[in-house]
């Protein structure tokens, strides 16, 4: 009845605490693997009997990229574990969350808007339209996201997944992506306001293409590092040029953004 009336019902659609906890646990697991692998070669995941094994497909100086098949489909789930040392966790996190700033630094964005917010949890519904490589049509995503800053455990988590919203019907100009999940976890090397952090990004979606599996895998595996580097560059630019970026770590973050820079560490 609510859907027929054009009302979005949050029950069953918001990001729950358990999803945030699972993402944080994945980061801890990755950190344990990383410490065990120091000086002994590449990290190796030990999946349970019900899980597909992870395959290392890219090993660079500052990050590693894995993939594994998603059971029952022709798609992969991807995972990136890496570090940056020249921006603060706060700056990187804020730039990722700030939809208005992303419209300026991400040239692929056609539309990026917050559709609705959940007062109870802070979850947000986002409508994102993005260019895809020629000759493919542009894609649009409707997804719910929620973030959490755990000061006690020195951790930042952002979880997103696809959802349907009555105010954003399908547009024949775009291809709607209905399967999408993303979890970003950031661990500061020291504090939220000092340079240096590790991050873990786990991602999967179904871009609705007719291309073979290996083509889609190549596009995603090359696109993820490219996006992360653009995000990193945008955080550096905001820091150096004192651009206005909303601070999601401060209380009352719905207020207007403040300029950032060395003299104002509370803003990215």
The full set of domain ranges for the chain reads 17-29+53-239
Q: Is the pLDDT of residue 41 over 70?
A: no
Per-residue pLDDT tens over the stretch 56-95: 999 998 999 999 999 888 889 999 999 999 999 999 999 9
The secondary element (H helix, E strand) that includes residue 100 is helix 99-105
The Cα 160–Cα 134 span in angstroms is 26
pLDDT > 90: percent of the chain:
65
Q: Is the pLDDT of residue 143 over 50?
A: yes
User: Judging by DSSP bridges, how do beta strands 175-177 and 155-162 pair with one another?
Assistant: unpaired
Task: Please state which CATH class domain 17-29+53-239 belongs to.
Answer: alpha beta
Among the listed residues 228, 180, 236, 221, the one whose alpha carbon sits nearest the alpha carbon of residue 200: 228
Model-level pTM? 0.85
32 or 144, higher pLDDT? 144
Over residues 41-63, mean pLDDT: 76
The Cα 149–Cα 89 span in angstroms is 11
Looking at residue 268, its pLDDT comes to 23
Per-residue pLDDT tens over the stretch 175-199: 999 999 999 999 999 999 999 999 9
Q: Sorting pLDDT into bands at 50, 70 and 90, what band is 34?
A: confident
Per-residue pLDDT tens over the stretch 148-176: 999 999 999 999 999 999 999 999 999 99
Over residues 84-113, mean pLDDT: 96
Looking at residue 251, its pLDDT comes to 57
Lookup result for tokens 């994945």:
26
Lookup result for tokens 């919203």:
165
Over residues 103-129, mean pLDDT: 96
Show Cβ contacts of residue 88 under 8 Å, excluding neighbours closer than 6 positions. 188, 192, 193, 194, 195, 196, 197, 239, 265, 268
The Cα 101–Cα 82 span in angstroms is 23
Q: Is the pLDDT of residue 255 over 70?
A: no
Q: Is the pLDDT of residue 258 over 50?
A: no
Looking at residue 74, its pLDDT comes to 83
């Amino acid at each position: 009845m609510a859907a027929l009336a054009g009302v979005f019902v949050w029950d069953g659609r918001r990001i729950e605490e358990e999803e945030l906890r699972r993402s944080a646990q994945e980061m801890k697991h990755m950190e344990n693997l990383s410490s065990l692998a120091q000086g002994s070669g590449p990290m190796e995941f030990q999946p349970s009997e019900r899980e597909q094994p992870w395959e290392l497909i890219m090993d660079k100086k500052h990050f590693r990229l894995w993939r594994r098949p998603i059971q029952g489909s022709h798609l992969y789930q991807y995972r990136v574990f890496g570090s940056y040392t020249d921006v603060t966790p706060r700056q990187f996190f804020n730039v990722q969350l700030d939809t208005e700033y992303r419209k300026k630094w991400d040239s692929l964005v056609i539309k990026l808007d917050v559709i609705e917010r959940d007062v109870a949890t802070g979850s947000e519904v986002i409508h994102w339209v993005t260019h895809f490589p020629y000759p493919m049509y542009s894609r649009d995503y409707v997804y719910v996201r929620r973030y959490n800053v755990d000061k006690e455990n020195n951790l930042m988590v952002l979880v997103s997944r696809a959802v349907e919203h009555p105010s954003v019907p399908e547009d024949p100009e775009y291809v709607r992506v209905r399967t999408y999940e993303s979890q970003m976890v950031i661990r500061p090397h020291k504090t939220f306001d000092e340079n240096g952090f590790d991050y873990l990004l786990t991602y999967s979606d179904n871009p609705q293409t007719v291309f073979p599996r290996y083509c889609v895998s190549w596009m995603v595996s090359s696109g993820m590092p490219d996006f992360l580097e653009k995000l990193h560059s945008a955080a550096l630019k905001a820091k150096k040029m004192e651009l206005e970026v909303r601070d999601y770590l401060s209380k009352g973050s719905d207020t207007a953004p403040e300029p950032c820079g060395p003299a104002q560490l509370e803003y990215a």
